[in-house]
Amino acid sequence: MRIHTLTLLATAASAMLFASLAQASDTEAVFRVPNPKWKAECGSCHIAYPVRLLPAESWRAIMAGLDKHFGSDASLDAATATEITAFLEKNANASRSKIEPATKPQLRITETSWFKREHDEVSAATWKNPQVKSAANCGACHTLADRGEFNEHGLRIPKT
């Protein structure tokens, strides 16, 4: 009986460890979903923000308003817009809309509760640093952001 219980405990612990490792690698992978048109079009003005950071309804609203995209005209031809919208919808974070219900789609990743929680230790002075400029400038601190890597190893916060 004792050996059986120990075997069960060891098996459960191994399963939990495997699940946590798989989840960690899945978390990293969600930032690296490839699509050349999305990367080229969205990445031409800023990093191509990780798709999984917003739900599909947010991406649809962003794509529908590209003619006035945060103060700029980022319009695309219809075929490109359709392809990128489909990609964003397919790879969006389905659970994010359940976590953050809103009356209208959230358009700024920097305003999500997830982003605020992840960056709560960043001072107001850091956001105002000329090297950073705003919370939307991921690459200012996340040196590997252009490759979709946002882990602590590539984090370098500019001095104020």
Angle (CA) 148 109 146, round 5° = 20
Q: How far apart are alpha carbons 29 and 55 in whole angstroms?
A: 17
At 70, the amino acid letter reads F
The confidence band for 74, taking pLDDT boundaries of 50, 70 and 90, is very high
Give the least confident one: 21-25, 26-30, 141-145: 21-25
CB atoms within 10 A of CB 51: 23
- Largest Cα separation within the chain, whole Å, is 70
| Phi (first) and psi of residue 142, to 5 degrees | -90, 95
pLDDT at 76: 97
